Amino acid sequence: MPDNSNRNTILFVIASLVLLFGYQALVLGPQNKQREAELKARETAQAAQAPGTGAPVAPATGPVFVSREAAIAGAPRVQVDTPSLQGSVSLRGGRIDDLFLKGYRTEVNPKSPPVELLRPEGVRDAWFAEFGWSGANLPGLPTAGAQWTLVQGDRLSPGRPVVLRYDAGQGLAFTRRIEVDDKFMFTVTDTVANSLPNPVTIAPYAVVQRRGAPAVPAANAHEGAVGVMDGVLEMLKYKQLKKDGEKAFSATGGWLGVTDKYWLAAVIPEQKEKVNALYRATTLSGLDIYEANFSAQPRVVQPGATYTHVSRLFAGAKTVPVLREYETSLGIPRFQDAVDWGRLYFFTKPIFWLLETFNGLMGNFGLAILALTVVVRLLMFYPANLSYESLTKMKKVQPQVEELRARLKDDPQKQQQELMRLYQSEKINPLMGCLPMLATIPIFLALFKVLSVAIEMRHAPFYGWIQDLSARDPTTLLNLFGLIPWDPATTPFIGGLLAGPLHIGVWPLAYGVTQWLSMKMSPPAPDPIQQRIMELMPVIFTFVLAPLAVGLMIYYTWSNVLTILQQYVIMRKYKVENPIDDFLARIKARKAAG
């Protein structure tokens, strides 16, 4: 007969291993790569960004880049100024290729520079949108280097469109009207007028192109091509797209683009329009070029006639309420899925919705996490109660179990039979102990995903020293949480270790203490080795979880507090000794003795 008394421990260890290996795969590996990439990117950026010089900057071999300032100055431009965006449209090619996000900063410090989204061609990590026309043997089509003329407007802003015109004098004249709203959506209306003596067949297109993948890859978030065509979500990471070369398909409506962890540039056709879409990766002069484009069906334009086509460009932050608004108002299918909800989307989406709702009520995502924890605990209250009752009963009969093991130590089979008889008589199910923890694993992974990809958590403050719920706790035990004016990361040779695995902040430490107290309220394992494993688990998990988003630490610490409260009530109900009452009794005894 199997040793059922060990099942609880085995289940606990299995769940622990799932979290440990998941952490290694999802966090430590990507974080190590990210640190290395950050160092390389910093060195490269310092070399490549030589403001004002305009001189090409490049390694000894490979593509040649110019500074951003030189690229901007290299073509006449129309300024873009909205409540959300700042930048310009290039009259060379009529491209939207210069955008900063006003509402987002590169760092928590509100005085840090705004996030840069789109960059002109020629600059390292160029990212831009282009609109145009294609046709066989047609004279005077506008190319990427075509010089457009500003014929209406002087600044692109909400309610103030600009109109560009291009005419090569070969019978086809092109007009481009660009509008922008107060958030992140551009509307591009292209018109072609045919003054040739014969009809022409012409097709409009729109493309988002990124030159070079991000130097610092995001951990636990999709980056690369993304889009929805005919209701099907497609996500191709940069490496996968480079490996595949291209992926083409036809659809009606939809959208497609290139995304980073928090930012998106996507082109959107009219939703009743049939288009040919393409994701593609090519290499030019050693530079990887990634693009997402669509081409509308060719149209015949008779002599003296015109043809007008409307496209849209989303260029901004993947803020769920904004994406949801566009999804509803413009009929863009599944636009919210530009956010990488992951395979557990049936958990991550409801969790985000709850956080968003609570934040709307409380005005703080940290408080929203606390409220979410209460909801999760309430949903799991009944099964958790059954589990804690079982654990409490096991602790209550622990003296009998120890006596039984000592009396029948030479007869394991008889010992097991008597143990199961004791559990049956006391209505104890040993398997119930780990069920709540196993049930929380999907919630843990889903919340981890939400905190990783939802821009609403980026730079979201909590009370005290927490200024970014999506980052790790910035405090560390090594300098007494800031009381000692010393940054462990600056220590020679071991700074990376002190700022990495040994960086234990206030919230991870609080998690470790509450986890230890919760486990002390459970019955001890049946043998010394298992007991040691259980005693080490809170310490191990403190170090393992410390690098995670502090929002996750707040969730788990508060969850532990609620767990301890529930365990305490049950233990008092069954009159079982518990560490809280023991601690209070010792304090009372000391006061009486003093």
Q: What is the DSSP letter of 124?
A: T
Same domain, 28 and 76: no
Closest CA to 393 of 574, 531, 526: 574
At 130, is the secondary structure helix, strand, or coil? strand
Maximum distance among all alpha carbons in the chain? Answer: 110
198 close to 314: Cβ distance less than 8 angstroms? no
Q: Which of 340, 371, 388 is the last residue of a domain?
A: 340
Q: pLDDT band at 278, cuts 50/70/90?
A: very high
Whether the Cβ atoms of residue 245 and residue 63 lie closer than 8 Å to each other: no
42 within domain boundaries: no
pLDDT in tens, 458-498: 999 998 899 999 999 999 999 888 888 888 888 888 888 88
**Tens digits of residue pLDDT in 328-344:** 999 999 999 999 999 88
Q: In this predicted structure, what is the pLDDT of residue 413?
A: 84
Same domain, 458 and 518: yes
Domain shared by 218 and 145, yes or no: yes
Distance CA 127, CA 68 (A): 12
Share above pLDDT 90 across residues of the chain, in percent, rounded to a whole number: 60
Least confident of 42-46, 120-124, 141-145: 42-46
CATH number at residue 325: 2.70.98.90
pTM of the model: 0.83
Q: For residues 57 and 67, what is the distance between their CA atoms, to the nearest angstrom?
A: 8
In this prediction, residue 48 has a pLDDT band, given cuts at 50, 70 and 90, of very low
pLDDT tens digits, residue range 178-230?
999 999 999 999 999 999 999 999 999 999 999 999 887 887 899 999 999 99
Phi/psi class of residue 3: alpha, beta or left (left: φ > 0; alpha: ψ in -120 to 50)? Answer: beta
In whole angstroms, what is the distance from residue 359 CA to residue 462 CA? 12
Burial 316-341 (b: 16+ CB within 10 A, else e): bbbbbebbeebbeebebbebbbbbbb
Question: Are residues 219 and 305 part of one domain?
Answer: yes
pLDDT at 50: 34
Mean pLDDT of 360-364: 94
- Which two structure tokens, joined as six digits, stand for 79? 């300024």
Shared domain for 17 and 163, answered yes or no, is no
> What's the mean pLDDT in 149-172?
96
CA–CA dist 96, 121 (Å, integer): 11
Confidence of residue 435 (pLDDT cuts 50, 70, 90): low
Q: Please say which residue of 315, 340, 365 terminates a domain.
A: 340
Q: Is residue 148 in a domain?
A: yes
More confidently predicted of 510 and 594: 510
Whether the CB-CB separation of 120 and 72 falls below 8 Å is answered with yes
Are residues 396 and 335 located together in one domain of the fold? no
- Sign of the C-alpha dihedral, residues 367, 368, 369, 372? positive
More confident residue, 51 or 259: 259
Residues 6+ apart with CB under 8 A from 559: 373, 376, 377, 440
* Whether residue 61 sits in one domain with residue 21: no
Can you tell me whether residue 213 is helix, strand or coil?
A: coil
Question: How many domains does the chain contain in total?
Answer: 2
pLDDT at 243: 93
Statement to judge: residues 330 and 415 lie in one domain:
no
Burial class (CB in 10 A: 0-12, 13-18, 19+), 215: middle
- DSSP conformation class of 292: E
pLDDT, residue 407, reads: 82
d(CA 505, CA 480): 9
CA distance 487 to 485: 7
> For residue 47, what pLDDT band results from cuts at 50, 70 and 90?
very low
Q: How high is the mean pLDDT of the chain?
A: 86
CA atoms of 374 and 93, how far apart (whole Å): 55
Assess whether pLDDT exceeds 50 at residue 54.
no
Q: Which residues contact 18 (CB under 8 A, 6 or more apart)?
A: 441
Structural domain includes residue 478: no
- 67-88 pLDDT, tens digit each: 999 999 999 999 999 999 999 9
Using left for φ > 0, alpha for ψ between -120 and 50, and beta otherwise, residue 575 falls in left
Asked whether residue 277 falls in the same domain as residue 390, the answer is no
Residue 143 lies in a domain: yes
pLDDT at residue 5, rounded to an integer? 41
Q: How many Å apart are CA 326 and CA 319, to the nearest integer?
A: 11
Angle at which helices 550-573 and 528-545 cross, to 10°: 140
Looking at 340, 367, 401, the residue that finishes a domain is 340
Assess whether 178 and 130 both reside in one domain.
yes
Give me the pLDDT at residue 336, please. Answer: 96
Tokens, residue 368: 């929203």
Same domain, 26 and 53: no
pLDDT band, residue 175 (cuts 50/70/90): very high
Cβ(301)–Cβ(199) below 8 Å: yes
Does 388 score more than 90 pLDDT? no
Dist CA 265 CA 262 (whole Å): 11
State the DSSP H helix or E strand holding residue 499, giving kind and residue range, or none if neither: helix 495-499
Q: Looking at residue 386, what is its pLDDT?
A: 80
Region 281-298: what's the mean pLDDT? 94
Q: Do 212 and 40 touch, CB atoms closer than 8 A?
A: no
Average confidence (pLDDT) over 128-136: 95
Centroid of chain to Cα 186: 25
Six token digits for residue 250: 């036809």
Q: Does residue 44 belong to any structural domain of this protein?
A: no
Give the whole-angstrom CA distance, residue 160 versus residue 111.
Answer: 29
Q: Secondary structure of 333-351 in the HEC alphabet? A: CCHHHHCCCCCCHHHHHHH
- Tell me the pLDDT band of 422, cut-offs 50, 70 and 90: confident
Is residue 94 domain-resident? yes
Its domain, for residue 108, covers: 49-340
- Count of residues for the chain? 594
Judgement on whether residues 283 and 259 belong to the same structural domain of the protein: yes
User: Does any domain span residue 416?
Assistant: yes
The runs of H, that is alpha helices, within 66-130 are 68-73
- Which residue's entry shows tokens 């490049």? 58
In a domain, residue 206? The reply is: yes
Distance, in Å, from the CA atom of 154 to the CA atom of 39, rounded to the nearest integer, reads: 41
